[in-house]
Structure 1
């Protein structure tokens, strides 16, 4: 009977010691913190581009792409048309907000109002934590995160962005230990990312 009580107390003490050490930052724990805070918009999740929809010359340039043939949009290169790019139902998952207007130009040349549609041209997802550098005291850490990039069909509209994302890059994330666990303090993106 004493042996059962002693082993039960021993197991409880061991469980307490293991749980007290749960503040240690491992790669799995860092990845969980990153995934949790991703939805707070601290980390990028979509790469976006603005497409001018009322310019016949831009519509003519996009005729070379296969997006019209694939059914994502219809292009009208008529100079007198009020809108030259029309998005189809197939493109709805990639549209962000609706068509908006903005003023472009300068004081000297004059201003014109153009309409544009914001599109998701790629999706950035956390892939794996590649390293953790703990500062002395183990209360602050720099986490290196490799991401994966998934292109949408609209990546063809901006080949420069596609080339920038083809090679995986590392995002550095600063974390601090609080009483309730690890939190993201700052995110440092590579200069060539945007």
Structure 2
């Protein structure tokens, strides 16, 4: 099978505007809703931003190779805010049928490192970061005058399959791209690290890729 041949059964991307908090939710990494292909022992998952909201267009591709994940982020337009950075993370769950942002859950964290008081993700020690904190481990996406950004890196703490003990697979979860200057109140204690979100939300569907 060609690596460019993908399944067509997808789920719409979701955009949320939570007052002063803006999120672009890209529901990907789900075999039922995501473009996926497997060629030999190589598994690939990919999805795209369609540009309907925030003008963001592009693709994010995850390729499983040699027990590692090669991540290719290729945003072709929309990241124009040069005054800030665009963080992005894998969250625990795919957004459910209600479309609630709360259904995405927290950052994927099978090792529980984010629940330690004073947790900070340091790219120099990625093994101590939440598995889903991609921008923490590899840097947030920068804003550029053209709005286009390309990033490539390898991540050894996530997979497209996961294991029963580590639960680090990203299939069936969601990827969240935050706009710069997002006002997110983080409550940190020895037991939890919770993002507090505005209860009022406006939900608009984005067209299929």
TM-score with structure 1 length normalisation? Answer: 0.20
Flag the structure with more relative contact order, 1 or 2, with Cα contacts below 8 A and sequence separation at least 6: 2
Structure 2 length normalisation: TM-score? 0.19
Give the structure with the larger strand fraction: 1
Bigger Rg, structure 1 or 2: 1
Q: Which has the larger helix fraction?
A: 1
